[in-house]
Amino acid sequence: MNRQSLPLTGNRLAKSLFIGTALLLSSCLLSIGVEWISRGSLIETLGWIRRNTAIYALNALIGGSALIFFYSLIGSIFLAIGAAAVVLSVMAFINYYKSMLVGEPFFPWDIILNKEGMDVGPLFTGVQDLLKLAVILVGLGSLIFLHRKLKSRLMVSWISRGILGATSLAVLLSFGLQVSWAKERVAKAGVDETIWSQQANYDSNGLLLAFTLNVQNVQISEPEGYSAEKMETLAKELTASAPDEAVPAFGQTDSSGAAAPKKRPNVIFIMSEAFWDPTLLSNVSFSADPVPTLHQLQQSFPSGTMLSPQFGGGTSNVEFEVLTGLSMSFMPAGSVPYLQYVNGSVPSLASYFESKGYRSLGIHTYDGWFWNREDVYRLLGFEGFKSKDGFIDPEYNGLYISDKEIAGSIIHEVNRSEDPVFIYAVTMQNHAPYTDKNRYPSGNTFKVEGDLTEEARDMLETYAQGAHYADQALQELVDYFAAFDEPTYIVFYGDHLPTLGLEYDLYRQAGFVQSGKPAEWSQEEYKSLRSVPYVTWSNFAAAEEQRVNTISSSFMGAYVLDTLGMEPEGQFALGSKLYRTVPGLIRNLTVDPAGTLSQTVPAGSEELVEQYRMLQYDILVGDRHLTRYVDAPFLTKEPMANYNTLAAVKEEE
């Protein structure tokens, strides 16, 4: 057979038709495969395509554009299809498991998580997952075979590939940045971009389209009406008067004659990894109370429920809210401020306490690079940050450094400081997974009774054991500081509820929620899965402060400052007003002082919440107008020159 008898050799039209047809069919099939993996069901995927043909076509266009871009780089149509299949399949698997574990899809900004990224490999255990993987591998094998057989017959010039690459990249950027022609296509297809519920957004519009449209949400949008004049007005309102409920400052007395401590107290925040009260599961019972210290303190000291912006993960976002007094509610869903928005100095509790003569220290028993804490804590105004590397031969309990170690570190840091200390401690011991019933050397001493599968029962017993160790560490701190000769104040809370099975499996079995799909939850169920307990304790008689049954993590700092009689400033001054009118404020849910739940801001509080949004924008990404009108040194405090030289040192003495 001579070369001219080959149908794809020397016939430019035939070759172009073949390549075009291959790209078109591959784009359609790749989009189907992505949705099959992402949704977990081929039947559900086909049903979605039937109901949303125009939206599916946009997903195929985006997938096809990615494929063409790979083709422009690689030069082989078959290897390009294989590369696109691998990349898009990984995206789909990450989206599937992230949605099942924490109720959030895969976002563009997740790509910058680097080491914090999700490793889905260990989760490949189900038959459906292995079937999908087998289909991908067979497809890749076939593509490699075709590449070897037909490579020389399907070569195109660099110029053609360059044009294709530029065109495909332009299409992707057009949808990501929402230029006019792409925006028109999206509107004509009937796309409803549900920003407030990203899971619904992905379910309705498909992974590839929803992911691409979210590119425009990487940055926080400017609030309508934001200006220097608006911030000046807000500043005057914040500085007009102190909160009516403020308790006496240190060394003064209140109206009843009760004296406040003469020395400023040590202030210790403890954010306990995945700490929650498992006895709230009404359909199960425990052989003993796993968290007796929590329950005892709840009876004797101010306590309540803290609304977390997260479920099952995203610890740094809760940390961000507490430390800065700012809210995740005004940011793109799924964003990570520590990685996206903390690029310069940001006023926080650390810089506030430093401005009042305190030493500030962050402690975390895990790697300092995680969530970029090493750099973020510097930008938040901490004097130092002690990560896992700061502990000498620490005791491990299970997979991570024990909570007992972090309690000892807190005691050590308080004792070695001549000045009052502000400490923000984050534990790690009770981090997921909870699937290994032999995780702890001592075994699981808490037995669970209830209508649960064996796997769910083992998981709950392991979690309860970890929660008990956290509870013991809290008791150790209370016992020590009860006999301490310096005033000390402790606030203890969890960052989020634990992930206990895919699609909220254990929570469904225990009757905590009725469905594994967040879109089907009632407001009460949604609140329950965002509610962690908080308790406060002090070794001095604090004045009776306003009791708050439910409070968002973004208002916790303002609440503590009010309790201590330390006048809140800047964003904490606004937070002091907010928790009295809208104590619960997270995405998709607000709670008023009477405990009424709503998806909208309570009547009469709209202006205050809008001021909160504007102030947050001004601090994080705006022009910092507030600093020109509010005389609060912590608002303009630069990172400390001696960061990590005085506080976060190894315990060698």
The predicted model gives 40-46 an average pLDDT of 89
Whole-angstrom distance, CA of residue 299 vs CA of residue 535: 10
Which tokens go with 23? 């790209």
| Local structure of 336: helix, strand or coil | coil
CB neighbour class for 231 (10 Å; exposed up to 12, middle 13-18, buried from 19): buried
* Residue 333 confidence (pLDDT) above 90: no
* Residue 512 confidence (pLDDT) above 50: yes
**pLDDT tens sequence across 316-326:** 999 999 999 99
First to last CA, the chain: 85
* Residue 94 confidence (pLDDT) above 90: no
More confident residue, 114 or 167: 167
| Local structure of 383: helix, strand or coil | coil
Residue 308 has a pLDDT of 96
From 50-59, 175-184, 296-305, 371-380, the region with the lowest mean pLDDT: 175-184
User: What are the counts of helices (DSSP H) followed by strands (DSSP E) for the chain?
Assistant: 23, 15
Q: Phi, psi (5° rounding) for residue 306?
A: -105, 125
* Residue 4 confidence (pLDDT) above 60: no
Residue 17 has a pLDDT of 78
Quote the crossing angle between the two packed helices 42-51 and 53-74, to the nearest 10°. 110
Confidence of residue 291 (pLDDT cuts 50, 70, 90): very high
The maximal CA–CA distance of the chain, rounded, in angstroms, is: 107
Tell me how far the alpha carbon of residue 141 is from its chain's centroid.
38
Which tokens go with 83? 């590369």
Q: Phi, psi (5° rounding) for residue 543?
A: -65, 155
Q: Phi, psi (5° rounding) for residue 303?
A: -160, 175
* Residue 116 confidence (pLDDT) above 50: no
CA neighbor of 339 nearest in space, from 141, 142, 552, 112: 112
Whole-angstrom distance, CA of residue 337 vs CA of residue 371: 9
The amino acid that residue 78 corresponds to is F
Query: Of 60-64, 461-465, 584-588, where does the model show the most confidence?
Result: 461-465
CA neighbor of 168 nearest in space, from 81, 17, 62, 77: 62
**pLDDT tens sequence across 562-575:** 999 899 999 999 99
Confidence of residue 145 (pLDDT cuts 50, 70, 90): low
DSSP 232-292: HHHHHHHHS---TTPPPPTT-B-TT-PBPPSSPPEEEEEEETT---GGG-TTEEESS-S-H
CA neighbor of 374 nearest in space, from 390, 393, 396, 357: 390
Residue 421 has a pLDDT of 96
Whole-angstrom distance, CA of residue 388 vs CA of residue 84: 39
The pTM for the full model equals 0.79
Instruction: Please state whether the peptide bond connecting residue 433 to the residue before it is cis, i.e. omega within 30 degrees of 0.
Output: yes
- 266 close to 420: Cβ distance less than 8 angstroms: yes
CB neighbour class for 583 (10 Å; exposed up to 12, middle 13-18, buried from 19): buried
- 136 close to 93: Cβ distance less than 8 angstroms: no
CA dihedral 469, 472, 474, 475 (to 10 degrees): 180
Residue 61 has a pLDDT of 93
Which tokens go with 178? 């929402």
**pLDDT tens sequence across 440-467:** 998 999 999 999 999 999 999 999 999 9
Confidence of residue 260 (pLDDT cuts 50, 70, 90): low
The predicted model gives 426-439 an average pLDDT of 93
Query: Of 40-44, 86-90, 265-269, 313-317, where does the model show the most confidence?
Result: 265-269
Tell me how far the alpha carbon of residue 327 is from its chain's centroid.
12
Whole-angstrom distance, CA of residue 544 vs CA of residue 349: 22
* Residue 14 confidence (pLDDT) above 90: no
